Amino acid sequence: MNYESEFIEGVIEAGIRPNVRKMINLSSFIAFHARRTPDRPALKYRGEEISYAAFDARLRTVAGWLAARGVGAGDVVAVLMKNSAAFLELVFATSHLGAVFLPINFRLSRDEVGYIAGNAGARLLIVDEELAANAARASIVVLDATAQQSVTHVAGETPPAPMHVRAPADLMRLMYTSGTTDRPKGVMLTYDNFYWKSADQTIALGLSAETRLLAVGPLYHVGALDLPGIAVLWHGGFIRIERNFEPETALSAIAEDKLNAGWFAPVMTTAMLTCPTRDRYDVSSLRWAIGGGEKTPEMRIRAFSEYFRNARYIDAYGLTETVGGDTFMEAGREIEKIGSTGRAIAHVEIEIRDEAGKTLPPRVDGEICLRGPKITRGYWNDPQNTASAFFGDWFRSGDVGYLDEDGFLYLTDRKKDMIISGGENIASSEVERVIYELPEVREVAVIGLRDALWGERPVAVVVLAEGATLELPALTEHCRARLASFKVPRELILRDSLPRNPSGKILKRVLRAELETVA
């Protein structure tokens, strides 16, 4: 994966100065827009609009502050922070220095944070004041509410730092996997990965200087940071940052700033569509919103279109290892291809392969494998997991699915979420789609629990719609009319909520552990 460096060495030998190398740094496009449109708003956080000129000055000052604390090129800067303007200042300031940015899930425990920061070898850990109890490190900086508005409030009169030269293959960011099936692994993301994904999203989504994005998901996750996230600033667009997700706050933000784009985890979409005060807000500016994380039921797509009348819901598929957004549903195909997450973007190839790595034909389930310039080269200091994650140059997603004859991708399951009952494979998502047809059901997760006779038995864990009731006989009758008998859940468990990771994926591992402990 050193073809970029070889190219640069070649042009040096030819006597050509590779200025493109200097433009790889993230801060270069902020400086570009600061020169051309200095007063144009780049960000808004807690009522404060920040122009491109101001943001450019801030990130240079914050970079100087990091340098004064011993951070240099190649060093890892970890942050344990909720959404804020300061978060994005640190994203760009770290890149400006040639350092590596590491966002950590703020919902993790003290031990989990310690493991990630230690595994990554972080030189510095920056934390929000309310999260400081979860940061077990000596080299730590705590940001209060004022500093969360801008790190320049603690940087003081620190001289701005010069931009450090970066090459396309250089490491830009570490992001640790969400851990739905395994211990977190450090995904290595390069400048190449970021710029290729940004270019592909520009083609697929029509990003421009007029894109006005609502960043309401957690910025430590690829959904909020990269789908399309900071690629909007590449174009000179605008991002409104909300510290936390609240459905009414999100709707109010769309109305107030005429936002036209967003990424919403499935649970966020549901919350906005069922918000009792939703009709108070003019959301006609919204043109599209990316979903994903799980298959989108038809009823949610239709409900979205009925409320956001000028917007389309874009189902998508992506991974931390690919900087998100490998497929997008195409406009006008949503109902025709219901259940699909769309087709591959311009510079991503997708194949379905069996356990031996053999390519499978259309409509045959297998492991989803991807290749392209936006895909990680592997895991941080983990050659064993890196080797097992690839068939040659094809990345193994760990997800099960199939392609139809038109190249549309359909997710079937996580490999570890496949239920095996009496020797039969049960795709939990297939059962979930049937259960979602019941109006009494707001959310559902189907999991396999240990069973002495069958090995595993399918169990439906359901969150009911407000005021609804549901009992096992009614669920069984509904499922038997649509599914093979071995796929019908043998147990119904009602819950107030389902555990999810920040991208909206239901954590079936957590559900299994909780329910098996109770049993």
For residue 3, the model assigns a pLDDT of 33
Q: What's the pLDDT score for residue 519?
A: 60
Beta-strand relationship, 424-426 and 419-421: antiparallel
What is the band of 224 on the pLDDT scale with cuts at 50, 70, 90?
A: very high
Give the mean model confidence (pLDDT) for residues 321-326.
96
The CATH code of the domain at 418-518 is 3.30.300.30
- Say which CATH class 206-314 falls into: alpha beta
pTM here?
0.84
Residue-wise pLDDT tens digits, 456-498: 899 999 999 999 999 999 999 999 988 878 889 999 999 999 9
Query: What is the average per-residue pLDDT within 427-453?
Result: 89
| Cβ-based burial of 246 (10 A; exposed 0-12, middle 13-18, buried ≥19) | middle
Phi, psi of 462 (to 5 degrees): -120, 140
pLDDT at 192 over 90: yes
Q: Which pLDDT score, from 0 to 100, does residue 380 have?
A: 97
Contacts of 241 (CB under 8 A, 6+ apart): 43, 44, 45, 83, 84, 85, 87, 88, 215, 219
Task: Compute CA distances 84 → 4, 44, 220, whole Å.
Answer: 34, 9, 11
Measured CA angle at 74 (ends 34, 78), to 5 deg: 80
Name residues whose C-beta falls within 8 Å of residue 103's C-beta, 6 or more positions apart in sequence.
78, 79, 81, 87, 173, 175, 219, 220, 221, 225
Tokens 């219901």 — which residue? 338
Domain residue spans in the chain? 1-166, 206-314, 418-518
> If you write DSSP's letter for every residue of 402-451 in order, what string do you get?
EE-TT--EEEEEEGGG-EEETTEEE-HHHHHHHHTTSTTEEEEEEEEEEE
C-alpha span between 230 and 54 (Å, rounded) = 17
Residue 182's pLDDT is what? 55
Q: What Cα–Cα distance (Å) separates residue 227 from each residue in 218, 397, 479?
A: 12, 18, 35
Q: Are strands 312-314 and 288-290 parallel, antiparallel or unpaired?
A: parallel
Interval 80-123: pLDDT, tens = 999 999 999 999 999 999 999 999 988 887 888 898 999 999 99
402, 363 contact by CB (below 8 A): yes
* Matching CATH number, 1-166, of 3.40.50.2300, 3.40.50.12780, 3.40.50.150, 3.40.630.30: 3.40.50.12780
| Res 16 pLDDT > 60 | no
Residue 2 has pLDDT above 50, yes or no: no
- Checking if the pLDDT of 503 tops 80, the result is no
Identify the band that residue 297 occupies on the pLDDT scale cut at 50, 70 and 90: confident
**Do 206-314 and 418-518 fold alike per CATH?**
no
pLDDT for residue 507 = 86
Confidence band for 375, pLDDT divided at 50, 70 and 90: very high
385-389, 392-396, 503-507: range with lowest mean pLDDT: 503-507
Q: What is the pLDDT of residue 215?
A: 98
Q: What is the three-state SS of 63-92? A: HHHHHHCCCCCCCEEEEECCCCHHHHHHHH
pLDDT, residue 416, reads: 66
Own/partner pairs, 433-438, CB within 8 angstroms, 24+ separation: 433/295, 433/297, 433/339, 434/478, 434/479, 434/482, 434/483, 435/460, 435/462, 435/475, 435/478, 435/479, 435/489, 436/297, 436/299, 437/478, 437/482, 438/470, 438/475, 438/478
CB 283 within 8 A of CB 214: no
Task: Calculate what percentage of the chain has a pLDDT beyond 90.
Answer: 74
Q: State how beta strands 491-494 and 455-464 pair.
A: parallel
Predicted pLDDT of residue 204: 97
Residue 292 has pLDDT above 70, yes or no: no
> Who wins on pLDDT, 518 or 15?
518
